[in-house]
Chain A
Amino acid sequence: MPTVKGDGMRGLAVFISDIRNCKSKEAEIKRINKELANIRSKFKGDKTLDGYQKKKYVCKLLFIFLLGHDIDFGHMEAVNLLSSNRYTEKQIGYLFISVLIGANNDLMKLVIQAIRNDLAGRNPIHITLALQCVANIGSREMAEGLSVDIPKLLVSGDTIDSVKQSAALTLLRLLRSSPDSIPMGEWMSRIIHLLNDQHMGVVTAAASLIENLVKKNPEEYKGCVSLAVSRLSRIVTSSYTDLQDYTYYFVPAPWLSVKLLRLLQNYPPPEDPAVKTRLSECLETILNKAQEPPKSKKVQHSNAKNAVLFEAINLIIHMDSDPNLLVRACNQLGQFLQHRETNLRYLALESMCLLATSEFSHEAVKKHQETVITALKTERDVSVRQRAVDLLYAMCDRTNAEEIVGEMLEYLESADYSIREEMVLKVAILAEKYAVDYTWYVDVILNLIRIAGDYVSEEVWYRVIQIVINRDDVQGYAAKTVFEALQAPACHENMVKVGGYILGEFGNLIAGDPRSGSAVQFQLLHSKYHLCSPATRGLLLSAYIKFINLFPEIKHIIQDVLRSDNNMRNADVELQQRSIEYLQLSSITTADVLATVLEEMPPFPERESSILAKLKKKKPSSVPEGSEQKETTASKIPAVQMSNNVDIAPPTSINLMSQGESSTDDFVDQGSPQGGSASVDLLGLGSPTQPTAPSVGSGGLLDMFDTLTSHSSAPATNGIDLGGLSGGAEEAFRKFICKNNGVLFENDLLQIGVKSEYREDLGRLWVFYGNKTTFQLNAFLVDVSTPGNLSETGLSIQQKPVGGEVEAGAQVKQQFNMACVQEFAEAPVMTIQFLYSGAQQKISLKLPVVLNKYITPAEMDANTFFTRWKALNSPSQECQQIIKATSPIDHEQVKAKLIGFSVSVLEKVDPNAENFVSAGILYTRNQQVGILLRLEPNKQAQMYRLTVRASRDKVAKILCDLMQTQL
């Protein structure tokens, strides 16, 4: 029996006991500070600390760190321990580093050096320690530094198994953190054969690595399918005594089986019939085993067995090709739905969600509807209930929609707060998707608002309004229902919004009944007015002005309301403005104009439900891809189809529902693009209507809305790349030819600044990304590509990674190192992508790296200059251009430009003092190129003659082109 308690370190044990004896938090902090001071002084003063002491102190620091205190020293000592020959000292050093040192620590270079030493040594336990450290930190710097060593260890014949195992996982980690810095090589072709390795541990580790590689490039590793299947088959058909140590509670190699089954989920069903049959046999055996009586009562046995079973079911669902297997899988899951183990019920619900999306098994899943509904009502665990909601959502179709939606609505009343919002979205989507009768749809949504008003997001009530407006058969019903709903003594503000909008549009449809006559409708709405937020009041005011058009008989009542101090002098500017403008509009325009302006809203263009988009954003995993496909088949409903035309909405459009600038992007592009009817935007709180506008008809209003729309939608279109560079990129780039620092790009969201410095053939460039908005920019990604063949020959660029987020108002710095290998003409292009409030933004810019940056000015006298000038006389070495000056010729300015171009300005070389003579040396990695330049201005003609000679072909032409843009 091994015991790791060992001799231990007494000082450490005493310290820990002290801490545990502390009666209060203060006492604990005091003790810790004392210890930290002690360690600090030991590290500082005592140069003769031996390894044991260092180890002890580092151990104490680890303990203090675990208690939640920052450790800001000791790193150097830990790094020193790495080079110790003693295993235990090395071990603690590596532990400290992988727990405490972030990837960007200054000491990383030293750490990497130590790792390299250990990897190069032949002691396997040292190698393992080093690999563990790399795998746990996995920084880019490590990937770059060790990109050759680790793959070599993995496929080398004389590496022992445990090291191979570690090397596989280390490589996986590096591939994940910086895929581009691991050179692909011969190891790649050998890697899939590790699946045949004798040692199961190696196979397990390799399977993880291969899965990662396969995800990127399935074609290349296709060979792994048959290897994985045969390995799997050997495990599955073996008896539990065969694999001995890798049998876990009577289940042979459960881990490896799971890994292999996952790996196979990256490929379609195997084409080779032999492999296919073998795989089917495996899957059947796994399903059969599930029915056998358990070999042990222990939960570990059932866990291990079911882990494999669930993964097998996932694979069956993924292949989606064998109806027999699918139905068996479904029955198996059905059994689990009623299992006494909560874990199994949870997982069964989860897997069934996937199964519901397959056409073969969708019907089979529906058989379990009652069980799932019971689960929703009776499960004690919110995690499980959540899964039940997901499954109900996935199994819903035309036939059962009414029941499922009913059940979900009922459950919503008592649902956990944490899942309400998502449930609301799901109910809203199902109701819309499977509605046959739109009155039912309207009822469902109004019920949603009634039951869970707080969780009904804007998208949901926007959507019901869109649908009512687009379908004239439900308008009357909708008006009647909202009218009734509003009669409840307390109703949710969202109900008031929907009610206001719908009555404002269609109140006339129910005004025939004296119980819901015009005045009654108005009084009902207005009774809620004072309880609402300004935004809702604004909406109600718009409804009132629409009432004036619908019901001229109550015009005076409404005008009184608009005229009241409460509105006309409201502290809220928006309300004030609306009251005044609406009042004016109703007083001075003729009935005809009023009717035109306040006409019923035109139908909305059909588009993907924004609710669906919201749900996807909220829970990407909960909207399986399969359901997408189902949607298109399901949306045979005439009116509202799920088309994906979000992005191709017409460019000039009225912003109908925007609430000022806070409008949701989804709605920005809606409205009546043809501008046929000039409607007042009923919900557009941000767009005041001016009394003069209506007389202009469509044009004026449209223009007004246009400016508004383009303003509020600016973030969505800003800098969108239309195949080439972003606007202004070329000009900004030119500015940098003669200078090193400045602003490269700026729009409403982002400012990009650049600083750079060059020495000979090396350059360093910092790009500063400043977030100008008040929101976080997400998924911030910068990619630099070099056009044409430049990547191989001209410029070698190293890019430091930049974080995934840029906080509001924050600035992020990114460094590029660029070495000039040989001459290049085209600058690298950098593409910046990020998400701004959900919308993808892309900016393409030229990185201001140009050939002349690598020139160093050279001084020489007239004699030397002309000797050299004459020596460079072959046509390919010279380039001459006549250039028209873009600004008046100014001697000092031109001189400054030449200096900025990194060449010297030589005095007294040319007899004509107006002419410029310059020289420089272009440093490339391969050679140095002499540069001579003459610039002859002609003030009368406002022309320049520029001549460049260089000792290497092509260089003169490139430089001449660059300089020409500056004059």
Chain B
Amino acid sequence: MIKAILVFNNHGKPRLSRFYQYYPEDMQQQIVRETFHLVSKRDDNVCNFLEGGTLIGGSDFKIIYRHYATLYFVFCVDSSESELGILDLIQVFVETLDKCFENVCELDLIFHVDKVHYILAELVMGGMVLETNMTEIITRIEEQNKLEKSEAGIAAAPARAVSALKEMNIPQKVKDMKLPDLPSIGNLKF
């Protein structure tokens, strides 16, 4: 099981932290710091696995990480996960981010924390791998984007309507306004 997924930069600034096991907030911060401390002092050509984190999980616990330019992607896992598999998963995650953000860089992660979470949610769920097929993941993200776009349109509509009403300044009209008939929800098929 994946216990936590952490992304931080070369200075240890957290850019994403996702815990799949409950830890109190201060503990989460400590884990991020400890992990950074362990990972950052390692050369780039040593292996991508290490043991020795004391805060999560005890002896049945490994850190698997990759270093990309300014960012460390760290997965904290227990022994039920395949080390190389997790390395691949990190790669899938990063490639997906790269596709979604078009040449992802640290700034994208900073300004779109929520999106990064949504992308991650398509890969990993409750500490288990949900989907590894990048095409499928990207299709699902695209669906979300479409929804967001259409809702942004809807969201603007009532605001426009309200401002129009204010100008009319005739309260009576508001009362007389009728909403168009809505199709019965029950008939809708998904």
| B-binding residues in A (CB < 8 A) | 1-8, 12-13, 16, 20, 50-52, 59, 62-63, 65-68, 70, 86-88, 91-92, 95, 99, 102-103, 122-125, 131-132, 134-138, 162, 165-166, 169-170, 172-173, 176, 200-201, 204-205, 208, 245-246, 248, 254-255, 258, 262, 300, 303-304, 306-307, 310-311, 342-343, 345-347, 380-381, 383-384, 386, 418, 618-621
Contacts and interface: CB of A to CB of B under 8 A. Distances in A.
Contact of B121 (A132, A176, A255, A304): A132
Given A4-B100, A91-B118, A125-B147, A173 B126 contact: yes
Contact of A208 (B47, B48, B99, B128): B128
A381 B112 CA distance: 36
Given A343-B84, A620-B59, A132 B112 contact: no
Given A62-B114, A95-B117, A255 B132 contact: yes
Interface string B66-77: 000000000000
A162 B101 contact: no
Given A2-B100, A59-B114, A246-B133, A102 B49 contact: no
B46 A381 contact: yes
Contact of B126 (A6, A68, A169, A245): A169
Contacts of B131: 165, 201, 204
A5 B47 contact: no
B98 to A, nearest CB: 11
A311 B132 CA distance: 18
B163 interface: no
Nearest to A199: B136
Contacts of A50: 155, 158-159
Contacts of A124: 190
A208 B85 CA distance: 14
Given A204-B132, A245-B136, A307-B82, A384 B47 contact: yes
Interface in B125-150: 125-136, 138, 140-145, 147-149
Nearest to B33: A68
Given A70-B25, A245-B135, A135 B125 contact: yes
A2 B138 contact: yes
Interface of B: 1, 14-18, 20, 22, 24-25, 29, 32, 42-43, 45-52, 59-60, 79-80, 82-85, 87-89, 91-92, 99-102, 108, 110-115, 117-119, 121, 125-136, 138, 140-145, 147-149, 151-152, 154-155, 158-159, 190
A3 B119 CA distance: 12
Contacts of A62: 113-114
Contact of A621 (B79, B87, B102, B148): B79
Contact of A201 (B15, B46, B92, B130): B130
B14 A51 contact: no
30 contacts: A2-B138, A4-B119, A6-B148, A50-B155, A65-B25, A66-B15, A66-B16, A66-B113, A68-B29, A68-B32, A86-B154, A87-B151, A92-B114, A95-B117, A99-B117, A102-B22, A132-B121, A201-B133, A245-B134, A245-B135, A300-B88, A307-B82, A310-B83, A342-B47, A343-B49, A343-B83, A345-B47, A347-B83, A386-B51, A618-B59
Given A66-B113, A165-B130, 8 more contacts: A125-B144, A135-B128, A136-B126, A201-B131, A304-B84, A310-B82, A343-B84, A346-B49
A7 B132 contact: no
Interface of B is mostly: helix
Nearest to A209: B128
Contact of A343 (B20, B47, B102): B47
Contacts of A621: 59-60, 79
Contact of B125 (A166, A176, A246, A345): A166
B107 to A, nearest CB: 9
A3 B49 contact: no
A220 B96 CA distance: 39
Nearest to B87: A303
A4 B49 contact: no
Contacts of A246: 132-133
Contacts of A91: 118, 144
A170 B125 contact: yes
Nearest to B127: A173
B26 to A, nearest CB: 8
A63 B113 contact: yes
Contacts of A201: 130-133, 136
Contacts of A205: 128, 130
Contacts of B141: 2, 4
Contacts of A66: 14-17, 113
Contacts of B111: 8, 12-13, 16
B88 A304 contact: yes
A405 B24 CA distance: 44
B178 to A, nearest CB: 21
A383 B49 contact: yes
A740 B79 CA distance: 46
Contacts of B52: 418
Nearest to A244: B135
A619 B59 CA distance: 6
B57 to A, nearest CB: 12
Nearest to A126: B190
Contacts of B138: 2
A620 B78 CA distance: 14
Contacts of A245: 133-136
Nearest to A386: B51
B112 A4 contact: yes
B80 A310 contact: no
B127 A200 contact: no
